[in-house]
Amino acid sequence: MDRGMVPLAHPPPLSRLEKELEPYLARASAWRQAIHREPELAYHEERTQQKVLEALSELKIEGRKVGSSTAVVGIIAPHAKGPCVGVRADMDALPIVEGTGAPFASTNGAMHACGHDVHVSSLLGAAAYLKAHEGELKGPVKLLFQPAEEEGARGGALPMIEAGVLTEAPAVDAVLAIHLKNVISNAVFGVRPGAAMAAPDHFVVRVLGRGGHAAYPHKAIDPVLIASEVVVGLQAIVSRYRDPLDPVVVSVSKIHGGAKDNILPDMVELEGTIRTVRPDTRDRVEKVFHRRVQGIVESAGGKAEIDYHRGYPVTVNPPAVADVVEAALRASFDADRVLHLDEPYMGGEDFSHVLNARPGLDMFVGTDDGAAGGQAMHSARYLPPERAILASMAGHVVGIRALQAAPPELLAARK
């Protein structure tokens, strides 16, 4: 795993497959720039949806909207007799003002700061190649362009599943997705069997005190001080209430309260996230969270109102399926291009819902080029390099072929 954490001095040489895909890169790059230039937030991906539908039409691939949502489904080789692989690409952006300075940067106050523009464009690029080689496919390929992955609660994958995208003909036998990763070297693949990404839960805590003059704090119950104690006190969940070898993250990411320097407010609101990878730990941490917040606040004379919402499940790659795709990647790329990851990442993914319904893999593709591709994801400076588009296209093609060639019993395991 360590090799992937250090940027390669140069982009790795093109594999044979990437050389085959290279003629499709210019078109994929143009799609990426068009999508990146006009990012849209969760459930509002109307222009992105239209761009995807237009791209599929150009490629002569059957595509359609999913009900009244912004999702899109496309099908390649719909009548092929072998296993059908569903490939997911998420389309939504984040409420971040872009700071990359790229010529195709967004100017609308939103940003593709998690690489979803590359997810979409690389799947379209792979689709262009697969359409040109449609007769070689062992089975259908169902393209799943999904909204609202960043929404965090209901998301976009679950509504697509409920709308029947996995069960309607041709029914999906296995699933595949790619997630970019800034801490893996540019164009390097990462495969994590088992728990690959965390369950992201969300909380809001309203600390209720008694406002007053800041010059006379003894006559008030200061919710600012109490909220500060809550922020610090919550870190004991990580240090004292879980196995040190069991990954847990507790982050308070938003604090709001007060209006003026000489006024103590009546209320301060905290908002944040908790990440876990084990179901029993998730249950225990939620209970400890409530107990600690209530105890800290009440001991200072205040009251706490807590909204705690569970987000997506843990993203779990069935190990046997992950092994099949990893072997195919190793057969297609140089040894230093494929990492077997020993630990999960603490980001969350609603592709977890899809993996709970069908066997498959959420693989990682690195973007760390020593420049903007190595910047923190969800930051205003993150910009995956074009080389990651080509690598992702290749990853899709290898993954689809591997899953369609997998033993039937492997694909039937989790239906």
Q: Is 312 a residue of the active site?
A: yes
Q: Is 386 a residue of the active site?
A: yes
Helices assigned H by DSSP within 133-250: 157-162, 223-234, 236-240
Q: Which residues of 302-339 are buried (b: 16+ CB within 10 A; e: fewer)?
A: bebeeeeeebbbbbbbbeebbbbbbebbbebbeeebbb
**DSSP H or E stretch at residue 60:** none
Which residues are CB-contacts of 412 (< 8 A; sequence separation ≥ 6)?
A: none
One-letter identity of residue 129: Y
| DSSP class of 70 | S
- Using DSSP, state whether 177 is helix, strand or coil: strand
DSSP of 283-350: HHHHHHHHHHHHHHHHHTT-EEEEEEE--SPPEEE-HHHHHHHHHHHHHHS-GGGEEE--S-EEEE-T
- The gap between the terminal CA atoms of the chain, to the nearest Å, is 31
Neighbours of 147 (CB within 10 A): 28
Catalytic residue, candidates 24, 312, 345, 382? 312
What residues are annotated to the active site?
Answer: 312, 386
